Structure 1
């Protein structure tokens, strides 16, 4: 968030006066003192303006949390801001994308995925790290419809190739013999004595 006031650079009142005046050390010293005080006021105004917005507030977060009934002074500033933004959204009807956005306010990697209808009255939240699980559960319990349950799922992602191997742990041999009633075989070529076939059924163990 940008706070561009009338002056966006450090105050120096001498830049508005004829340059030869700065040759007088007494005059220059007085103007430098004025510049320093003006700069303090400029920065103070900007800092006060920042407290009017949760996204940029620092010492003003105490008042925001008092209004919304939160006690998060022990948490880092970014986390306090996120929890305030979650609280400010209110208890309105929420969609899948809105819930995902709220979850990512408290989930540091910002890449959690919400999948709906993964089971009867169930949705799933997929994360790839175990950060802020308590915070995720807290905001989900606030905003999810009361009749829905959810599963917090941990999924790994990566770009490296994956190989899956296995070993045969059990083999079953099945012998299939020719039918005894097959006494006559008609063929255009030489006839070989029929032999039994062998079927092998195996099971892999990973």
Structure 2
């Protein structure tokens, strides 16, 4: 990037006042540039920091002081996706925005029931309370939902070495 002093005629290079003014304008330009770039980052939900407050205000979402930015982004994404007719694809998209990993949504229309099966990491995902709140908000009142979790099966455990077992967390095993 060119500096303002690069644009000045040579006869002004010896002027301390003009050199100082050009330097000041350049510094202010850099500050302005950084602020504009930061503002543009806030428009991208994946990069937003202080802009998350604005998204939450626009979508009428309340956040807790203990929420991580990723949890906040997940709630915002779910709310963005939630303003439409509820489909299995939409429920799946909401689930993926809250829980890392793939999930499969199965609909049982006669029973007015939906099952969300987590195919990713073993055990109960950590963000289940937030996912439940998001689903309660978008699901029709007469439709109930439940979760299916992935645990290590006995046959999988039998095939593991002691070292592999020690690397696993206790929540990955079903008791």
TM-score range, shorter chain: 0.5 to 0.7
The reply on whether 1:138 has 2:130 as its aligned counterpart is no
1:147 is aligned to: 142
How many residue pairs get aligned? The number is: 152
Q: 1:157 to 1:43 in 2, by over 3 A?
A: farther
The structure in which a higher percent of residues are helix is 2
The partner residue of 2:56 within 65, 79, 104 is 65
| 1:1-206 matches, cutoff 5 A | 12-17=3-8, 24=14, 26=16, 28-52=19-43, 54-74=45-65, 75-107=67-99, 109-117=100-108, 120-127=111-118, 128-130=122-124, 131-156=126-151, 163=158
Asked whether the equivalents of residues 95 and 103 of structure 2 are also in contact (C-alpha less than 8 Å), the reply is: yes
Asked whether the equivalents of residues 118 and 124 of structure 1 are also in contact (C-alpha less than 8 Å), the reply is: no
Query: Is there any run of 5+ residues in structure 1 with no aligned partner, and where?
Result: 1-8, 165-206
CA distance in 2, matches of 1:91, 1:34: 46
Aligned-pair distance for 1:97? 1.4
Query: Is there any run of 5+ residues in structure 2 with no aligned partner, and where?
Result: 160-175
Instruction: Find the structure with the greater CA-based Rg.
Output: 1
- State TM-score, norm by structure 1: 0.57
Asked whether the equivalents of residues 50 and 57 of structure 1 are also in contact (C-alpha less than 8 Å), the reply is: yes
Q: Which has the higher contact order (CA 8 A, sep 6+)?
A: 2
The structure in which a higher percent of residues are strand is 1
Aligned-pair distance for 1:90? 4.2
Q: Give the alignment's Cα RMSD to 1 decimal.
A: 3.5
Q: 1:163 to 1:62 in 2, by over 3 A?
A: closer
- State TM-score, norm by structure 2: 0.66
